[in-house]
Amino acid sequence: MTDSPPRAAQELDAEDAKLVTLARGARARAGAAEGAAVRDDDGRTYAAATVVLPSLTLTALQAAVAAAVSSGAQELEAAVVVGTATEIDPASVAAAGDLGAAALILAGPDGAVRSRR
C-alpha cells in the first residue's frame, strides 16, 4: 500500500503539491499548530513551523518567509499554510505579500486544500 497525497493535493500542480507536503512535514516535525512552505522565483523551497518562544512569536508562514529572505529570496511564487485554521491569518498574508506571493494556499492537516487565492 502506498501513502499517496490527499485527492485535493493531487489536483494541484506538482510544484504546489510539493509545498503542501513540505508544510505538512514541518508541522509534524515540530508538533506545531501550523506548518508552511514557500517557493521563491528561482524555484527554491523553504519550510517552517509556528514559532512560540518567550521572546519571539512567528506564524509558520512568517517563519518560512523569514527563512527565504535570509537565504536571499526577493520574490515568492507561492505559499502554503497547513493547519486547522479556516483562513490564513492577516499577519501571514502580509508576510507573503511583502514578497509578492502570487498564490496563497490553505490546506488542512491531511493536505486537503481548503482555499486558494
Options 3.40.50.1780, 3.40.140.10, 3.30.70.270, 3.30.420.40; CATH of 7-116 = 3.40.140.10
pLDDT of residue 11: 80
Nine-digit cell string for 42:
528561482
Report the 3 state secondary structure along the chain: CCCCCCHHHHHCCHHHHHHHHHHHHHHHHHCCCEEEEEEECCCCEEEEECEECCCCEECHHHHHHHHHHHCCCCCEEEEEEEECCCCCCHHHHHHHHHCCCCEEEEECCCCCEEEEC
Domain chopping of the chain, boundaries: 7-116
CA–CA distance, 40 with 55 (Å, rounded to integer): 28
pLDDT, block means (10 residues), the chain with 117 residues: 49 94 98 98 98 98 98 98 97 97 97 94
Its pTM stands at: 0.90
At position 80, the amino acid (one-letter code) is V
pLDDT of residue 2: 46
